[in-house]
């Protein structure tokens, strides 16, 4: 049997060249460019001839080609195809600039990702002539050639790609042979799914062998040779076979192994292909997510965009996914998650009049337990992913289930059992999926996302033909084209859902893989955190100014720029250098924009006064920490709004700014500096005493208030460890469980300063050498009124495949730690009792992670770090990594960050951990030389409710405020306003629905909150 099976497989390969006959080579010319040139500018370029075998570019180059051919008269009304392989990706245009179809010359990962044939319609053959314009890119669907585990001596770490004309010919297309090859390949695949002694194998092999016999090495016999295959394909599926809703799909990474500028063109290529498929296959349905991609096409390919809008209106093109991009769901803030939905859903509604009801993020690296509430309050009911199938240690137990978040919100969730969003519509995938589908005892249907993805492309003709063949085929589930939204509607109406027969998963969907993405590309992560805070602060200040002056358009663009860089391969750190070169420029521009908007709004809400300083606290906890004063205020007398003296030490001051409030400080006479130096290694105030040793390590943290030692006896804190960091695969993505078994080195102290103590704080500085060529410089600060010990850190980082961590061995006995997540916190085990616990050896936290017993605890706060390890009673923070793939330069150079150690009395929710973490991450806005003339519009008091957002509404001149319960407790809070004659109208997160109204009594209104509840109000 093997002999005949090999014969069939060899035949399949051997007959491929027969697809085209009577071929001619078109006349071709090209113009090479370093950057993409738009259609309107193509004829301004200099062109020269090129033939098959000719070179036209190198990695990331672009080129415009023009192909001309006069077709033989005998070809009229016969199928004609262009076979084109320019090595990279190409987009074919008609004479009017409408993209028609894309070809893909090669794939770095999968040969099935190529597409060479474009069947030339009669409309492009007027007068027997073909005249086509082609935009080519010197990169494959997965970027350029790069070593996934590059050696340190590699010559071209950024990769290479030869742009070469490999195939360029036009000929008569043998449609019968094309169908024969699809059918034979499908049955060969089906053959491989059957047990070795299954009788159907013998029947299949006999039919396939007969096909080879009938073909007789003559393409003219293709139609006759299909007959034995047709008999096998006509055998019907079992009555009990499951149903498959097959959704044409093309996952397009907004940035990954290619820059975002290339994604613009990937969208055009992909969408042109799918419109072409719809013309050929009337029943075919395609869906694509990410409104940002549609915005790209609208701007750069308006004619293509109009065709998409037409297909959307017809119902054959499905808009998917409520987020602006398929964003990372570990690292971005709660407000960023809200804005992803806000801008995503508004775009779909504004452009298409369509309300998307699903969150569609099949390739994101884990899903926060805060998401279900945000999904539901953004007007979505369903969630789709498959990434958890990548788990290293534990098989996730469900495909269709209710997912419950930290507040109790539920979202109906489906994981396609094919475990891919790039399905090929082949028996081996579908049979495995049918058997793998966990809820097959309750449900008779699952979804399949088929087509070429990651780098885009979508389904080819072959995918669609296979789906048609598998509609009712023996041994297979029953495949039919469909929309995801209709699938979810059927699912929601099923008995299993209505009668709550499906299982429930509570808490985060933790991906047991890609843990390194919590740290890689630290600059991008830091800038994102700072901008999330800065944009919210900017909106708060702008909301104090006259409504007519609100910079809505500028802030809209700013948020969308931040959101695109939260894509799940950009902010996690798994993209190439070209991506981060752009991201860093865009982040820098956002910082400048916010500074400009703050100055403008600041002038509108203040009056000039030379010796005044207005401080605007945009967070809903009083700011009681040290504030950096502006230039010219060094060692000056400072008086606050209440007439009290503010302690000053150089340019550092210690005063209080009310929660969500404004203070005006006045500068007085110059004072003598009050800083004393001593040679000890002790930082101390009335609350706590910290002692360091000659290595710069923290050897004692004694809480004077309680008389407790907060570090374990005999162990030191602030200990740096440098680990060899060589995961098995996916360098930028992964930290493997064995990393702490590899070589570990510490830091060597180079120098330290004397302790400088004054009325505001005590400080000292350390400098260490670590690794091959890196330096750590740290200023340690302790304010006179706080137990919080800040480590303000700068690292000159020049390591290769190393990971830098810092550890604090905490003397708090607890079996679980609390990690801040988006708009709340989640608890995770501090042990590895089960395989599920062990798998969480590296987990995400935002501004704090806390170890608390019933009456005492200790926390680690950060201003931009996310990766923690909390097993064995340690607060262990990942600071830096240095992978070499896919970005050879990842994280090299200067890095700055602050982390803080904070012992506290009481449990987490009884402590000041949240307040201190908030203050560490967002200091008051300073407006020097200005005195405030208006008050902040809103403040909240009572309970554990935070005023997170004050901004202008998206679609009206109302203000919008967002309040969040942060402690996981049912509570009441009082909202106060300085505005007169206003009321609250509650709305959902995207500001579409009105859910009730509340009247102020005087300046206050009482509001009730459920645990971790997010509530949004318009103020009218």
- Where in the sequence numbering do the catalytic residues fall? 363
Q: Where are the alpha helices (DSSP H) in 404-521?
A: 427-436, 461-469, 484-493, 495-498
Cα separation, 866 vs 880, in Å, equals: 11
Transcribe 673-719 into DSSP letters: ---EEES-SEEE-SSEEEEE-TTS-EEEEEETTTTEE-B-TT--BSE
Transcribe 610-664 into DSSP letters: EEEEEEE--SSS-B-SEEEPPTT-TTEEEE-TTSPEEEEETTEEE--B-TT-EEE
Residue in 803, 805, 804, 920 with CA at minimum distance from that of residue 859: 920
Cα separation, 422 vs 804, in Å, equals: 36
Q: Where are the alpha helices (DSSP H) in 743-901?
A: 835-839
Residues 799-811 as b or e (16 or more Cβ within 10 Å = b): bebbbbbbbbbbb
Sign of the C-alpha dihedral computed for residues 587, 877, 859 and 870 taken in this order: positive
What strands lie across the sheet with 400-404, from one edge to the other?
A: 358-360, 382-384, 410-414, 400-404, 504-506
CB–CB of 416/384 below 8 Å? Answer: yes
Q: How far is CA 945 from CA 621, 816, 915, 940, 999, in A?
A: 10, 24, 11, 7, 19
Phi, psi of 877, deg, nearest 5:
-115, 130
Residue in 570, 576, 562 with CA at minimum distance from that of residue 363: 570
Q: How far is CA 539 from CA 547, 556, 688, in A?
A: 12, 11, 37
State the virtual CA torsion across 327, 332, 335, 336 in degrees, nearest 10.
-40
User: Helix and strand tally (H, E) in the chain?
Assistant: 19, 58
Residue 315 DSSP one-character state: T
Q: E strands along 893-944, which residues?
A: 893-905, 925-932, 938-941
Q: How far is CA 227 from CA 9, 20, 53, 475, in A?
A: 18, 22, 39, 20
Cα separation, 39 vs 134, in Å, equals: 10
β-bridge pairing 652-654 and 856-862: unpaired
Residue 417 DSSP one-character state: T
Query: SS3 string of 287-313?
Result: EEECHHHHHHHHHHCHHHHHHHHHHHH
Q: How far is CA 685 from CA 652, 688, 689, in A?
A: 17, 6, 7
Which secondary-structure segment (H or E) carries 721? Answer: strand 719-724
């Amino acid at each position: 049997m093997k002999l005949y099976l090999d014969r069939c497989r060899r035949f399949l390969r051997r007959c491929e060249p027969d697809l085209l006959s009577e071929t001619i080579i078109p006349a071709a010319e090209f113009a090479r460019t370093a950057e993409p040139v738009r259609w309107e500018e193509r004829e301004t370029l200099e062109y020269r001839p090129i033939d098959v075998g000719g070179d036209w570019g190198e990695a990331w180059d672009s080129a415009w080609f023009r192909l001309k051919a006069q077709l033989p008269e005998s070809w009229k009304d016969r199928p004609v195809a262009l076979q084109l392989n320019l090595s990279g990706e190409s987009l074919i245009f008609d004479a009017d600039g409408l993209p028609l179809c894309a070809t893909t010359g090669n794939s770095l990962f999968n040969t099935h990702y190529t597409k060479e044939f474009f069947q030339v319609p009669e409309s492009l053959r007027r007068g027997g002539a073909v005249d086509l314009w082609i935009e080519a890119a010197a990169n494959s669907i997965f970027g350029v050639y790069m070593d996934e585990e590059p050696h340190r001596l590699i010559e071209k770490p950024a990769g290479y790609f030869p742009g070469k004309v490999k195939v360029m010919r036009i000929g008569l297309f043998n449609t019968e042979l094309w169908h024969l090859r699809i059918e034979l390949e499908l049955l060969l695949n089906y053959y491989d799914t059957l047990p070795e002694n299954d009788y159907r194998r013998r029947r299949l092999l006999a039919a396939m062998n007969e096909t080879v016999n009938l073909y007789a090495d003559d393409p003219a016999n293709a139609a006759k040779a299909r007959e034995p295959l047709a008999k096998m394909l006509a055998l019907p599926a079992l009555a009990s076979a499951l149903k498959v809703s097959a959704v044409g799909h093309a996952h397009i990474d907004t940035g990954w192994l290619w820059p975002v500028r290339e994604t613009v063109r990937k969208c055009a290529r992909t969408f042109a292909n799918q419109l072409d498929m719809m013309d050929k296959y009337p029943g075919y349905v395609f869906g694509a997510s990410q409104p940002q991609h549609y915005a790209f096409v609208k701007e750069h390919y308006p004619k293509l965009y109009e065709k998409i809008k037409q297909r959307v209106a017809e119902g054959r093109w499905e808009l998917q996914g409520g987020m602006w991009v398929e964003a990372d769901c570990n690292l971005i803030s709660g407000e960023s998650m809200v804005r992803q939905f806000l801008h995503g859903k508004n775009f779909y509604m504004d452009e298409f009049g369509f309300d998307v009801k699903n969150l569609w993020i099949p390739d994101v690296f884990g899903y926060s337990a805060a998401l279900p509430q945000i999904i539901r309050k953004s007007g979505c009911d369903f969630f789709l992913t498959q990434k958890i199938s990548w788990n290293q240690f534990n098989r996730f137990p469900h495909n269709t289930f209710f997912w419950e978040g930290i507040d109790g919100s539920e979202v109906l969730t489906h994981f396609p059992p094919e475990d891919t969003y790039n399905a090929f519509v082949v028996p081996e995938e579908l049979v495995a999926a049918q058997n793998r589908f966990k809820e097959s005892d309750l449900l008779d249907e699952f979804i399949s996302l088929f087509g070429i993805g990651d780098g885009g492309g979508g389904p080819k003709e072959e995918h669609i033909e296979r789906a048609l063949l598998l509609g009712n085929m023996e041994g297979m589930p029953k495949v039919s084209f469909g929309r995801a939204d209709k699938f979810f509607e059927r699912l929601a109406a099923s008995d299993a859902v209505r009668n709550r027969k499906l299982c429930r998963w509570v808490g985060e969907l933790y991906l047991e893989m890609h843990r390194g993405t919590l740290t890689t590309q630290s600059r991008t992560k830091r800038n994102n955190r700072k901008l999330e805070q800065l944009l919210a602060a900017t909106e708060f200040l702008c909301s104090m100014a006259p409504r007519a002056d609100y910079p809505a358009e500028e802030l809209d663009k700013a948020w969308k720029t931040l959101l695109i860089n939260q894509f799940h391969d950009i902010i996690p750190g798994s993209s190439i250098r070209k991506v981060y070169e752009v991201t860093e420029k865009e982040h820098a521009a956002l910082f400048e924009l916010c500074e400009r908007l703050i100055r403008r709004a600041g002038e509108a809400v203040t009056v000039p006064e030379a010796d005044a300083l207005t401080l605007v606290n945009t967070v809903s906890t009083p700011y009681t920490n040290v504030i950096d004063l502006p230039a010219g205020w060094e060692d000056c007398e400072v008086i606050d709004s209440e007439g009290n003296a503010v302690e000053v030490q150089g340019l550092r001051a210690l005063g209080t700014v009310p929660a969500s409030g404004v203070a005006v400080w006045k500068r007085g006479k110059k004072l003598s500096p009050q800083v004393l130096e001593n040679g000890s290694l002790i930082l101390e105030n009335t609350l706590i005493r910290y002692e360091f040793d000659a290595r710069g390590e923290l050897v004692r943290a004694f809480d004077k208030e309680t008389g407790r030692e907060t570090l374990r006896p005999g162990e030191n804190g602030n200990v740096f460890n440098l680990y060899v960091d060589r995961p098995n695969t996916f360098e930028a993505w992964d930290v493997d469980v064995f990393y702490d078994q590899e070589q570990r080195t510490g830091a060597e102290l180079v120098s330290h300063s004397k302790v400088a103590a004054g009325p505001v704080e005590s400080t000292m500085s350390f400098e260490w050498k670590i690794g091959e060529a890196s330096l750590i410089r740290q200023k340690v600060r302790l304010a006179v009124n706080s137990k919080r010990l800040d480590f303000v850190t700068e690292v000159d980082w020049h390591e290769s495949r190393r990971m830098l961590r810092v550890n604090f061995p905490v003397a708090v006995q607890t079996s679980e730690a609390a990690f801040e997540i988006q708009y709340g916190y989640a608890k995770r085990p501090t042990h590895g009792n089960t395989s599920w616990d062990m798998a969480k050896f590296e987990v995400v936290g935002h501004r704090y992670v806390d170890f608390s017993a019933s009456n005492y605890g200790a926390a680690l706060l950060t201003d931009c770090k996310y990766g923690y390890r909390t097993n064995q009673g340690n607060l262990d923070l990942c600071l830096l990594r240095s992978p070499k793939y896919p970005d050879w330069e990842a994280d090299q150079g200067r890095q700055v960050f602050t982390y803080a150690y904070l012992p506290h009395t009481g449990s987490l929710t009884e402590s000041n951990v949240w307040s201190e973490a908030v203050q560490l991450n967002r200091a008051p806005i300073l407006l020097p030389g200005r005195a405030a003339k208006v008050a902040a519009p809103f403040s909240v008091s009572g309970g554990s409710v935070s005023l997170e957002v004050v901004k202008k509404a998206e679609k009206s001149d109302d203000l919008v405020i967002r309040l969040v319960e942060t402690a996981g407790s049912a509570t009441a809070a009082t909202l106060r306003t300085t505005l007169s004659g206003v009321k609250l109208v509650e709305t959902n997160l995207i500001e579409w629905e009105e859910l009730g109204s509340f009247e102020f009594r005087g300046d206050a209104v009482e509001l009730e909150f459920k645990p971790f509840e997010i509530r949004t109000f318009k103020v009218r």
